[in-house]
Structure 1
Amino acid sequence: MSLEKVSIKEIMNEASLVDSLKVIKDSFITIARELNLTEENCPSNPAFTNLENLKKMKDKEIGMFGLFEEGIQIGFVAIEKANDIFYIERLSVLPRYRHKGYGKLLMDFVFNYVKAQGAKKVSIGIVDENSVLKNWYKLYGFIETGLKKYEHLPFTVCFMEKLVERIV
């Protein structure tokens, strides 16, 4: 990865939302297949999202950002503010770009972004059965704060959070 060829930009228009939708779906479908998640048994999984859902997120003023390498979008993250807690949503990197530091770039961006807005902590909910992802978040400094089994989901949700370090 060459950092001068990588940028993170806010997703501002419908064309960018369409590109982001493809990144999200292509990224999340890998784990959905691994865990036998389908549109029927887990319609809320990002692998099965649609443009209308992204537009609703945008209307709620959820920050959306794309990760680009040489002008091609390869990642995405949404950041939702709720008081002094920020929630990470739809963090994704296309499969062929994984394990190269792009996810960490997105996370570093998230923490710089929320720190500038006075956040106290960042929270995320993930599929507990996805141990690779769970361990990745732990390596980044997230701690597990709870598990919850929802009737409408065919997996357990793991809630994790990390305190935001203060700017000195």
Structure 2
Amino acid sequence: WLTANEPFRPIEIDSLRSIYEYPETEILVAKVYGNDGGFIILDFEGQNDEIGVIAGLGVLPRYQRKGLGTVLGMAAWNYFKEQNVEELRCEVYKDNHVSYNFIKSLGFEEYDKKTYTKDDFVLDTRN
């Protein structure tokens, strides 16, 4: 995994829409008794899409610490295996100890650190 110094990256609705509509991005949604419980956003990197990337993962608070994140992580792994990826990556905020330990429990190993600056972010100030 890549460890980052910032807890989140703000995103504008148009940017989120373009992620959703991008043909190589997959979004898996976990259902719990018919209700949305969590999601995982998957993408590819590399010249031949040989690197699978967990670009985002979220679980609603009422479903956290009940295995739903693990189910999403394993679903991502299975999806990427079907796509013949050679490597799986994700990014974790360094002070989010729950996420950090969760990703580590899935077998990820830290390969780099990234430091973000305020210039890396664009905030949407429209109402």
Where on the TM-score scale, by shorter chain, does this alignment land: which range?
0.7 to 0.9
Provide the residue aligned with 1:85 in structure 2.
51
Are residue 147 (structure 1) and residue 119 (structure 2) matched? no
Supply the distance in 2 between the matched residues of 1:128 and 1:69 (Cα, whole angstroms). Answer: 29
1:149 CA drift (Å): 1.2
Kindly indicate whether residue 28 of structure 2 is the aligned counterpart of residue 65 of structure 1.
yes
Q: Deviation of residue 97 (structure 1)?
A: 0.6
Q: CA deviation at 1:68?
A: 0.6
Identify which of structures 1 and 2 has the higher relative contact order when contacts are C-alpha pairs closer than 8 Å and 6+ apart: 2
TM-score, length-normalised on structure 2? 0.78
Give the whole-Å Cα distance in 2 for the aligned partners of 1:89 and 1:75: 14
Please show how residues 82-121 of structure 1 align to structure 2 within 5 Å.
82=45, 83-121=49-87
Cα distance between partner residues in 1 of 2:97 and 2:113: 14
What is the Cα deviation at residue 147 of structure 1? 1.1
Report how many residues are paired.
110
Segments of structure 1 that go 5 or more residues without pairing to the other structure are: 1-36, 154-168
User: In percent, how many aligned pairs have the same letter?
Assistant: 27
Q: 1:74 is matched with which residue: 37, 62, 70?
A: 37
- Label 1:109 to 1:94 Cα distance change in 2 as closer, same or farther (>3 A): same
* Superposition RMSD in Å: 2.0
Deviation at 1:118, TM superposition (A): 0.2
User: Secondary structure of 1:115's match?
Assistant: helix
Moved over 4 A (4+): none
2-side partners of 1:132 and 1:66: how far apart? 21
The structure richer in helix per residue is 1
Are residues 1:136 and 2:102 paired? yes
Could you tell me which residue of structure 2 aligns to residue 17 of structure 1?
none
SS in 1 for 2:110: strand
Q: Which runs of 5+ in 2 are unaligned?
A: 1-6, 120-127
- Distance, in Å, in 1 between the alignment partners of 2:54 and 2:65 is 19
TM-score normalized with structure 1 length = 0.60
